[in-house]
């Protein structure tokens, strides 16, 4: 699968969340996001990857997150193309590609 196909697949997966209000997405991500325990204290992971790329970091933090799609939908709606960091299991470059595919699927790209 090439990059464009991946972006289309990610964007298509989010179609079912189109009608979910932002507040509901935000509540879900805050309550169930796998990263929400980071910085809470004693259970922090032993980070060893000084040279870890954003993609690797995204995969590590977001692996198995039960609300990765909701996280990505929320990020697309609230920050869009300019968002930085790791959200929805995608690093910046991949997320921007997926965001453009998401835009094309929503309102015919008028957003």
Closest approach of ligand SF4 to the CB of residue 109, in Å: 25
Instruction: Report DSSP letters for the chain, one per residue.
Output: --HHHHHHHHHHHGGGGTTS-HHHHHHHHHHH-GGGGTTSSTT------TT--HHHHHHHHHTT-TTHHHHHHHHHHHTGGG--S-BTTB-HHHHHHHHHHHHHHSGGGT-
Closest approach of ligand SF4 to the CB of residue 61, in Å: 5
Cβ proximity to ligand SF4: between 41 and 108 the closer is 41
- Which chain residues interact with ligand SF4 by CB under 6 A? 29, 33-35, 61-62, 65, 67-68, 71, 86-89
Closest approach of ligand SF4 to the CB of residue 106, in Å: 20
């Amino acid at each position: 699968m090439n990059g464009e196909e991946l972006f289309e697949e990610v964007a298509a997966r989010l179609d079912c969340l189109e009608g979910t209000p932002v507040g509901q997405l935000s509540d879900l991500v805050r309550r169930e996001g796998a990263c929400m325990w980071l910085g809470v204290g004693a259970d922090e992971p032993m980070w060893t990857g000084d040279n870890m790329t954003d993609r690797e970091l995204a995969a590590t933090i977001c692996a198995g997150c039960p609300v990765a799609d909701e996280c990505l939908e929320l990020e697309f709606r609230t920050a869009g193309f300019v968002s930085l960091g790791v959200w929805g299991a995608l690093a910046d470059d991949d997320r921007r590609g997926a965001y453009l595919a998401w835009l094309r699927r929503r309102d015919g790209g008028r957003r």
